[in-house]
Amino acid sequence: MGFKDYCFRKSLWVFHFGGASCNNCDIEILDCLTPRHDLERFGILLVGSIRHADVLLVNGSINTRDKDRLIELYRQAPKPILVVAIGACGCTGGIFAESITFAGPVDAIIPVDAYIPGCPPKPEAIIAGIVKLAGKK
Amino acid sequence: METEAVIENIAKKFISDTVAFDLVKSRRGIITIRHTALTAIAEYLYRSEGYRFIIASALHTRRGFEIYYHFSLDTSGLILSLHVILDKEKPRIESLSNMFSASNWIEREMHELFGIDFLHHPNQEKLISDGNWAEGVYPYRKEFK
Amino acid sequence: MSRKTLIPIGPYHPLQEEPELFKLFCDGEIVRDIKWETGYNHRSIEKLSESKTYDQVFFLVERICGICSTSHPFAFANAVEEIAGIEITDRAKYIRSIIGELERLHSHLLWVGLAGHFLGYNTVFMWAWKYREPVLDLFEMITGNRNSYAMFKVGGVRRDIENSKIPVIRKVLADARKKIDLLAGAVMDDPVIHARTKGVGVLTRQDIIDYAAVGPTARASGVAIDIRKDDPYAAYPLVNWKVITAEGGDVFAKAEVRLLEMYESVSIIEQCLDGLEKVREGDITVKVNEIPEGIGAGRAEAPRGEVFHFVVSDGSNSPARHKIRAPSYVNIATFKKSCIGQTIADATISLAAVDPCYCCTERMAAAYDVSSGKRILNATELIGISLKRTEEIRKSGAGHE
């Protein structure tokens, strides 16, 4: 088993970063924790520090002010880390891509391993995306 | 009709400062006033008549920098907007933020987006521009040929 | 020399290296001053709007804020229809109000959950968000999406609510009433919550007027402003309902107003469903040729308060100027009054009580020791302080008087 596979063998700890977002995605991510979807049954936990995370979830169209933070966050993340771009804004900038302060999308700033499109993606889609990603690795 | 009565009343009180009545219809009124009269009329609306400040909308047109100060009379649903036109080169106007706190942020924002100077503003510092665009850049200004 | 410390307020899953939203400057336990930093969310939406057609702007403004997502198209539609002198059909009015009130329901439930979380009642958080789900299911049934509904257009609505769906909606609402009873009981009767929220984060009538605050924040201080009554639009003048106010202006009053508003929302929706059954199905839009030159001001009562859209039209297909003011813009500023002089633990809940748009709640601040400049408390630790306070109250038996 390779090093990466070894790291992701067990439950995934997830850290969430929201860029310039309308928060629909943030709320749907939080929704994954609630009784109907219950992310934790997969052993997936939201953590408070990037240093504990296996997965970095990024949503929102990143504006110039967020960009530096995102880079710094990625730098601090323990490698290997899986990056997931969530939502139309995370994947391509969505409807805000023409904004004067747009500095993204996410994959223009940091490498992305998976994209979960939607506006916002349903919790089922988010969970499916993360589980699929974990399975692939 | 109420809006008409309101506008007539203001016109009478501030006869030398009202320039035009741009809009008079049910629950909506817009008066263009001399920008030097803003504080006096705003104070009259706020203190004497109980209007609530909603927000201010700035725009950059060929005439110069224009601001609409929107006030709401909640007892009747009337939105009364005071419209001022400011100088093209050095747009400036007295701040309303010493009269109430409600205009504090929007004046800072208009300053960052349009470069309008709000005189005697208690703290005309950055609100949204830090890290988003450079000093001296006013992104909502337009180019007119 | 008193050591002033900056305290963070953390979101549910706090980000450590965050640019802080609220920086609380503290003297020991007491908050002395607050600085608010922002700009991380700026997307120049007003400028973007000028490059979109009127139809496209609806999709744009819906995404200003996820929770108040319908209120923005609502206000924008009101503004544009004012310029064009358009009167929409009764069916469209009922549908617009139904969507608006369903949104109020889900938004207030979300807030109750977050408030519960900040107070250390994670069960309330889980329940409230669980009871949100049926409302979101209704949205999905009616509009195809749980959030961001794309229901509004100039002249009416995009999709009908077929009469065949009405019984399903009625059933969900009847269930919702029972769940609101449950939540209301859990929150309003709990002595520890009383101890944590009564007298905390108080905004006086004069504060509200000075800051021109709106929505439940204003109504909880006895200022009875509600756009649905003051400047009526859509179906609100066609149905019976009342504006909910409370005295006290504290966090408890704000919670009370939101909880009671949920009952009114359910009642409004039920009456609108009755209305739908009396008008012709499918009659949801009127013909719109063009938007003439002119100026329009439209507003709507979002869950957080008055949303205001000001549109200048030059007769073309796009707005010449589109000014947008969300309620949180005026409400958040009231933290200067509600949080200063409070303890750190109370400041957390005071900030949340204004129900800043969740995106704002997400980015709360950090604590710095002003003398050494080192960060001393992070976001998680701050929520921890609030939780600890709740525990202390529970253990001491306070609130059981």
CA distance to partner chain B, nearest, from residue A133 (Å) = 34
Could you give the domains of chain C? Answer: 4-41+345-396 (no CATH), 45-329 (1.10.645.10)
Average pLDDT of chain C? 85
What mean pLDDT comes out for the span C177-197?
Answer: 90
* Phi, psi of C266, deg, nearest 5: -60, -45
Provide the residue ranges of all domains of chain A, joining segments of one domain with +: 12-136
Q: Per-residue pLDDT tens for C120-137?
A: 788 888 889 899 999 999
CA distance B87 to B61: 11
Q: How far apart are CA C337 and CA C343, in angstroms?
A: 13
B106 and C232 in contact by Cβ < 8 A? no
CB-nearest partner of B101 from C39, C210, C321: C210
Whether B140 sits inside 8 A of C209 (CB atoms) is no
Q: Residue C48 is encoded by which pair of tokens?
A: 């973007």
Residue A24: per-residue pLDDT: 87
pLDDT at residue C384 in the model: 73
Tell me the C-alpha distance between C95 and C72, whole Å.
16
| Positions in chain A short of pLDDT 70 | 1-10, 136-137
pLDDT mean over C310-329: 93
**Facing B77 at nearest CB: one of C39, C230, C295:** C230
- Determine the residue among B132, B135, B142 to mutate to test chain A binding: the one whose Cβ has the most chain A Cβ atoms within 10 Å: B132
* Residue listed under structure tokens 């009922």: C94
Nearest CA in chain C to B113: C44
Whether C147 and C69 have beta carbons less than 8 Å apart is answered as yes
CATH topology of domain A12-136: Rossmann fold (3.40.50)
The answer for B 82-141 residues in CB contact with A (under 8 A) is 130-133, 139
The domains located in chain B, with CATH, are 2-89 (3.30.460.80)
Instruction: Please check whether residue C19 touches A, CB under 8 A.
Output: yes
Q: Does B128 touch chain C (CB under 8 A)?
A: yes
> What is the complex's ipTM, to 2 decimals?
0.94
What pLDDT is stored for residue C40 in this prediction? 60
- Angle formed by the axes of helices C251-278 and C166-188, nearest 10°: 170
Chain C, residues 100-119, CB within 8 A of chain A, namely 110
What is the least distance, in Å, from the CA of B140 to any CA of chain A? Answer: 10
Q: Do C299 and B79 touch (CB under 8 A)?
A: yes
Q: If you count DSSP H runs as helices and E runs as strands, how many of each does chain A have, helices first?
A: 6, 5
Amino acid A2: pLDDT: 64
Digit-coded pLDDT (tens) for C199-238: 999 999 999 999 999 999 999 999 999 999 999 999 999 9
Cβ–Cβ below 8 Å for A100 and B133:
yes
Residue C148 in contact with partner chain A when CB distance is under 8 A: yes
Q: What pTM was computed for the model?
A: 0.90
B124 at interface of C, judged by CB pairs closer than 8 A: no
- Residue partners of A75: CB distance under 8 A and separation at least 6: none
Residue A1, burial from CB neighbour count under 10 angstroms (0-12, 13-18, 19+): exposed
Lowest mean pLDDT among B42-51, B108-117, C328-337: C328-337
**pLDDT given at position A99:** 84
Q: Do B133 and A101 touch (CB under 8 A)?
A: yes
Closest-CA distance of chain A to residue B109, Å: 15
